[in-house]
Amino acid sequence: MISYRIAMPNPHSHLFAVTVAVDALAGPYVDLVLPSWTPGSYMIREYARHVQGFAAHSAAGPLPWRKLAKDCWRVETGEATSVTVSYQVYANDLTVRTSHLDGTHGYFNGASVFMYVVGREAEPLRLRVEPPAGWQVTTGLTLAGSADEFLAADYDELVDCPVECGTHRLLSFTVDGIVHQIAIWGQGNLDEERLVADTRRIVEVQRDFFGGLPYRHYSFILHLVDGRGGGLEHRNSVTNQVDRWTFRPERAYERYLALTSHELFHVWNVKRLRPAPLGPFDYRRENYSRLLWLMEGGTSYYDELLLVRAGLMQPGRYLERLAEEIVLLQSQPGRLLQSLEQSSFDAWIKLYRPDENSANSSISYYLKGSLVCLLLDMEIRARSDGTYSLDDLLRRLYAAYPLSGPGIPEDGAVLAAVEELTGDRQGGFRDFFAHYVSGVAELDYARALAVVGLEPRWERRGPRAWLGLSLKRQGERTLVSAVHADGPASTAGVYAEDELLALDGWRVDEKRLTARLEERTPGATVRLTLFRGDALVEVPVTLGEAPSDHLELVPLSEPSAAQQQAYRNWLGR
């Protein structure tokens, strides 16, 4: 068995000390590799850059080694049948997808600290965690006997169970006799009793959705921090990071509940039901999939919808949130340029590396994926006369592609499952996928929402006159953060990172600019005074007609009985 040990002898140094003991060696060398990315976060992160102090030895003494690549170390073992490798990992990056060690806690994702032995990734593993005195250990790994020793079935399981070490508070509850723990690092304005009750309710409604819990225990690792956020799913655990004051007021708390719901839903959708390219993993390079729109977009569709079904969000508030998401997508010119399949495939180079042109050239498979899943849900309900929904499709896919199988094929398997579910093979769903998944057609919200007796009502609440740019504050300076490709400022030659000084000779910031635009009409020309670098420039801009910026989803004046029933079925009310 390959054994790992991770220690924290000096937490203030931010250095984890890792050893890997490898037995049953048969050749003259052994190769060890540290992953370049972690599952669930689709970007190459080059974890090997944080490794230092690499060494290897056998019972007879030190062994020679050399690097074959940025992420690969080769140890010359000679006649040795076992070898122990040691190294340190610098961990001072506090995110859900990396690792962090300081005087208050030690948190690590396995992919960023544990090298794997090439060719032996499928073997069972043992991990010993050695925290400072007085610290406890929380993880989804299975205990091996003592409090700080754990077992993993293989390397994939080892790196799919993050570990929190420290003096964190530990809350717990059970659902169906299964223990769920919440490990809380940091202080904030949370109500622990309510947190436990609401988290339990989320677990229960998702259990009911899929028909049972697929794990033997579950760990929520919760980091309360300042001004950051994020979540990363795992098979039987999650790390959520939120602003410490996010639990009040109510609308801030909604965001926390939605994050919890989102990451838990991944227990089924992504961690077990997954695209074929996402397992077994290649940890050294990109693993491309065109189905992230269903994995992440589908999960985003259900995260708040299931809060409504759980009684943790009111239907009216959910419709407000849904309208906000529609407005956000419609404000992005990239929706007419990049398809959902392309967005999924390009996650590795686009989603996690946004720039000032991202809204013009791309879309998020989270955002548009969730809205296309809404449309797909309504299309399934309509074409099956309310017999089936997207719920049934996901449950069918979950049964057809278990964790032990090869995953969902990328070549039309989802479309085929929809046609099989509904019995509709007349081409309607093929057109749907061609337009909205493979293509860039505008989403038909009115048609979809009519299925549940709703209609979209658009209006403009901001100024009629439109520049087509976004601003950001940097100290005392007002900078252009993005220029919309379909807007007047782009045509006139305003650039991202220009510093906005004045409009028609009068000083403006973001608030004053809105006030001045309220006084103008579309078609009028204004003079923008800008610093471009250290050069003072003046750009005349002919104002355009501002697009609608507010949406309400309202009941039809006379919804049919079928529409009213579909609405109740959809929201579980």
Nearest to 272 by CA among 406, 140, 161: 406
Please check whether residues 415 and 500 belong to one and the same domain: no
Residue 415 and residue 528 in one domain: no
Q: Are residues 329 and 356 in the same domain?
A: yes
CATH number at residue 482: 2.30.42.10
Write out the DSSP string of 339-351: -HHHHHHGGGTTT
Residue type at 472 in one-letter notation: K
- Are residues 389 and 492 part of one domain? no
273 belongs to a structural domain: no
CATH number for the domain harbouring residue 152:
2.60.40.3650
Whether residues 412 and 513 share a domain: the answer is: no
Q: Which of 136, 166, 196 is the last residue of a domain?
A: 166
Residue 9 lies in a domain: yes
Residue 254 lies in a domain: no
- In this prediction, residue 436 carries a pLDDT of 98
CATH number, domain with residue 323: 1.10.390.10
Secondary structure letter of residue 212 according to DSSP: S
Rounded to 10 degrees, the C-alpha dihedral 321/327/328/333 comes to 160
Question: Is 382 in the same domain as 237?
Answer: no
DSSP code, position 273 = B
Q: How far apart are CA 229 and CA 223, in angstroms?
A: 9
pLDDT score of 146: 77
Residue 140 lies inside a defined structural domain of this protein: yes
Is 277 domain-assigned? no
Helix (H) or strand (E) holding 223: strand 217-225
d(CA 14, CA 103): 9
Q: Are 435 and 472 in the same domain?
A: no
Is 239 domain-assigned?
Answer: yes
CB-based contact 468:488 (threshold 8 Å) = yes
Residue 26 burial (C-beta neighbours within 10 Å; 0-12, 13-18, 19+): exposed
Question: What does the pLDDT read at residue 573?
Answer: 78
Is residue 284 one of the residues assigned to a domain? Answer: no
Of 147, 166, 185, the residue that ends a domain is 166
Domain match, 153 and 29 both: yes
**Residue 223: its pLDDT value, please?**
98
Q: Are strands 125-130 and 2-7 parallel, antiparallel or unpaired?
A: parallel
8 A C-beta contact, residue 284 and residue 35: yes
Q: Which tokens belong to 213?
A: 């819990």
Q: What is the CATH number of the domain that holds 220?
A: 3.30.2010.30
d(CA 371, CA 324): 11
Domain end residue (candidates: 166, 200, 230): 166
Domain span including residue 228? 169-248
Helix (H) or strand (E) holding 229: none
What tens-digit pLDDT sequence spans the chain (573 residues)?
899 999 999 999 999 999 999 999 989 999 999 999 999 999 999 999 999 999 999 999 999 999 999 999 999 999 999 999 999 999 999 999 999 999 999 999 999 999 999 999 999 999 999 999 999 999 999 999 878 999 999 999 999 999 999 999 999 999 999 999 999 999 999 999 999 999 999 999 999 999 999 999 999 999 999 998 999 999 999 999 999 999 999 999 999 999 999 999 999 999 999 999 998 999 999 999 999 999 999 999 999 999 999 999 999 999 999 999 999 999 999 999 999 999 999 999 999 999 999 999 999 999 999 999 999 999 999 999 999 999 999 999 999 999 989 999 999 999 999 999 999 888 899 999 999 999 999 999 999 999 999 999 999 999 999 999 999 999 999 999 999 999 999 999 999 999 999 999 999 999 999 999 999 999 999 999 999 999 999 999 999 999 999 999 999 999 999 999 999 999 997
Q: Is 278 part of any domain? A: no
Q: Are residues 107 and 239 in the same domain?
A: no
Q: What is the pLDDT of residue 425?
A: 86
**Short-list 108, 109, 118, 113, CA closest to 49:** 113
Q: Does residue 372 sit in the same domain as residue 487? A: no
208 and 161 share one domain: no
Q: How many domains does the chain have?
A: 4
Name the one residue in this structure whose structure tokens are 């309607």.
Answer: 428
The Cα angle at residue 373 between residues 289 and 384, in degrees rounded to 5: 120
Cα→Cα distances 30→17, 25, 262, Å? 20, 8, 40
Same domain, 351 and 394: yes
